[in-house]
Chain A
Amino acid sequence: MMETATSCTPMKPKDYKSGVKPVWCPGCGDFSVLMALTKALAEMRLAAEQVALISGIGCSSRLPAYLNVYGFHSVHGRALPVATGLKIARPDLTVLAAGGDGDGFSIGGNHFMHSCRRNVDITYIVMDNQVYGMTKGQASPTTDPDWDHSKLTPGGTKVNPYYPLVIALASGANFIARASSSDPNGAAKVIVDAIRHPGFSFVHILSPCITFRPEQRDWKKMVRPAPVEATSNPVTAAHRLMTDDNFFLGTLYKGNRPPYQPDLTPVIDDLSSIEKDFEL
C-alpha cells in the first residue's frame, strides 16, 4: 500500500510547486524560502505525497498552498501540535512545519518550547521578518524595542525581543540553524540537513518584509556565514549564542538526543488479574 518515500526519477524544484499564485507582496523574502524548500525536496528526491507541510496563520503560513505536497494550513499558532499529531500517527511521512515569527513565537510560543522539548522528528521552518505583515504591520516578539512604525506601538515596543535560537537550545531542540532568504541555495542546504537530522529541527530564516520593514532590504548585506562548524555540545552552542548578532548563518547545533517515540509497550499487559477484583 505504501509508496516508496523517494522518487526514482530525478526531481526538479518546480515539480514540487502547486501552480497557485502566492499572495505575497513582490519582493517578499518568502518567495526565496519557497524556492529553497523546493530545491531541498528535489535534492532529497522525496516523493511529494510522502511529504506533509503544516502551517499556522500569517503571510508565510500560506506556504503549503504553493507546494504540491500534502499541505495543511491550520489554526493561528498551532502548526506544531498538528504536525506532532500527524508525525506520531504517521511516522512514515516526512513532516515539515512552517510559519512566521508571530505565529510561532507569540501565539504559538508554548508549542515551540514544548516541541523542542518533546523532540518529535519534524523540521520547523520559521520565516522571521520581525513584523505581523498580514494584519498590516504590528510589532512581533522578535521586533526591536525601538521600532516605532506600528500604530499599536508608536513609541516602540520598549520590550526586549525574543531570541528564537536561545529558546530552541534551552528547550532542547535537536538541530538549530539559521539561514537567509537572500541565499536560497544556502537555505536549501540547511533545510536538507535539518530534515535528515533526527528529532526536532529548527531552521530560523531571515526573510524580509519589504512592505512594512523596508529597511530589512539591508539584511542581505549584514548576513554572513558563521566562522565555525556546528557543534553537538549544547554548552559550546550556548557560548556562541552569547556573541551572535542575529546575522550569523549556518548550523549552530546538531544534538544526538534520540527522537520522541510514543510508548508502545503496555504498562500492564494483561488486565484480567485486576478485573478479577471487580467481577460479580
Chain B
Amino acid sequence: MNSGNQLNSGNRLQNLQGNRACVLGAVAAGCRFYAGYPITPSSEIAENMSLEMPRNGGVFVQMEDEISSMAAIIGASAGGVKVMTATSGPGFSLKQENIGFAAATEIPCVIVNVMRGGPSTGMPTRPAQSDIMQARWGTHGDHPVVVLCPWSVEEIYMQAIRAFNIAESLRVPVVLLYDEVIGHLVETVDFSALQNPQLYERKWAQGDPETFLPYANPGDGVPEMARPGTAFRTHTTGLTHAEGGFPTQDPATVERVMKRLLGKVDAHPELVEQVDEYYCDDCELLIVSFGITARSSQAALRQLQEQGIKVGLFRPVTLWPFPQQRFLAAAAGTRAVLVAEMNAGQLIQEVQRHVGRDIRVQGLQRFDGDVISPQQIVDCAKRILQDD
C-alpha cells in the first residue's frame, strides 16, 4: 500500500490550500476511508479525498447526509480501517450523536470541522471560531474527546497526522478544528522536515479469544480492539457496557468502566498535549488565542514588543483537553491575560476557570464574520495595561 508520500513531483516546497493539506496529512497518516457530505467551507476536503483515496488504495463515498457520513466512518473503522469525515458547523451538530457513540464504544475516528459563522446556517462563507464548546460538549453525557487547533496550512498537515495517531492509539474521536480562513488559505509548505512521520497504530486483540474481554483495562486505559473476521468476536453497543461488551446497569461496574473511559485521554499527556508559546517566561500581558486569531496575535506581539511592551502568546494547539498546567505556568507572573477569539466569548470561560481571581482576564471578541486584526489586539493590549 502507498505510504502516503504526498510529493508526487518530489518537490520540497509546495503551495497548498489548507483543506488540501488536511487531506494529504490524513493520507500520510494512513487514512483509507472517507465518507462525507458537501458543506461550505469544508467541501475541498471531500473533493481532494475523492481524488486521493482511490490513488492510495482507499475508498471515498459520498453519503446521503451528515449523520450517515459519521455512521459510515464508524462502521468502516470498526472494520479496522483508519477513517475520516469533514464538515462545518451545521453538519457537525448533526454528527454529534454518532460522535458520542464513537466515544462510548471507543471506535477511532477523525472529524474535521472547518468553522464558519453561526448559529444555524449563519454565514457559510465567513470564518468563525464559535464551535469551541460544541467540539468539547456537543454530544450528550460525559465523554472523552480530543480537539486539535492548527493555525497554518503546514500545521493542518501535521495535526491531521497527529489526529490519527491520537485517535488510533487512544481509541477516541479526535476533532481537527480550524476556521475558514486557515482552511482556504494557500501557503507554502516545506515538506523536507515532514517526510516519514511516525505513525501509531491501533492495538489489536491478542491472546486467547475465549477469555478476551473487549473493554478490559490492559493498564494504560485503552482496551485492545477486535477486528471482525478474527476469532475475537465482540458485541459493540452504545449502551453502557461492562468489560465483556454487554450492557450493564450495576453501579459499581458502571463507575469502574466510566472512570477508565473518562481517564484514558488524561493518562497520556505525552501523546495529547501540545502548546505553542512565545515570550511567556517574562511578560506583563499574556495573549491566549488559536487558529487565525493567533496569527493576528503574533503580528500584534511584534508591534507591541517594538514599543517596549512585554507581551507573550500562549496558543493551545491541543485545545481539549485544555492544557491547564502549561497554561498556569505561562500565566504565572503576568498582570493580565487577553483571550482573543472569533466568537462571543467561549475559550475565555475556560481560561477564567483556571486562573481564578488572581489575574485579570480580558476578552477580545469578534463575531461579525471578519478576522480580528493585529491592530485590534494591539489597541486592546494597551488599554488593558493602562487600566491596570
A contacts, CB < 8 Å to B: 2-3, 18, 20, 48-50, 52, 54, 64-65, 68-75, 78, 80-90, 92-93, 110-111, 113-114, 262-272, 275-276, 278-280
Contacts and interface: CB of A to CB of B under 8 A. Distances in A.
Contacts of A266: 51, 54-55
Given A68-B233, A85-B71, A263 B54 contact: yes
A267 B71 contact: no
Given A70-B228, A75-B97, A85 B35 contact: yes
A271 B24 CA distance: 13
9 contacts: A52-B228, A54-B75, A65-B237, A72-B78, A74-B238, A78-B67, A88-B76, A90-B76, A110-B65
B234 A85 contact: no
Interface string B30-71: 000101000000000000001100110101110111011101
Contacts, number: 173
B236 interface: yes
Nearest to A72: B236
Contacts of B188: 280
Contacts of A3: 229-231
Interface in B116-157: none
Interface stretch (B10-18, B166-174, B277-285, B300-308): B10-18
Given A70-B233, A75-B98, A279-B14, A82 B64 contact: no
A49 B231 contact: yes
Output the residue of A18, A50, A263 with the most chain B CB within 10 A.
A263
Interface of B: 8-9, 11, 13-16, 33, 35, 50-51, 54-55, 57, 59-61, 63-65, 67-69, 71-81, 83, 97-98, 101, 188, 226, 228-239, 246-247
A84 B75 contact: yes
Given A88-B76, A90-B76, 8 more contacts: A73-B236, A73-B237, A81-B71, A81-B72, A90-B228, A93-B79, A268-B55, A280-B188
Given A18-B235, A49-B233, A275 B11 contact: yes
Nearest to B186: A278
B68 A81 contact: yes
B229 A269 contact: no
A93 B228 contact: yes
Contacts of A71: 233-237
Contact of B59 (A73, A88, A113): A88
A35 B81 CA distance: 32
Nearest to B55: A266
A259 to B, nearest CB: 14
B73 to A, nearest CB: 6
B101 A75 contact: yes
Nearest to A267: B51
A186 B50 CA distance: 43
Given A49-B233, A82-B74, A268-B51, A89 B97 contact: no
Given A93-B228, A267-B51, A81 B75 contact: yes
B71 A75 contact: yes
A121 B51 CA distance: 24
A89 B11 contact: no
Contacts of B239: 73
B68 A111 contact: yes
A114 to B, nearest CB: 4
A278 B8 CA distance: 13
Please give me the 5 A-B residue pairs with the lowest Cβ-Cβ distance, nearest first.
Answer: A85-B75, A85-B72, A81-B68, A81-B71, A89-B76
Nearest to B9: A272
Contacts of B74: 74, 82, 85
A114 B63 CA distance: 9
Contact of B9 (A18, A110, A111, A279): A279
Contacts of A114: 63-64, 68
B192 to A, nearest CB: 13
A275 B8 contact: yes
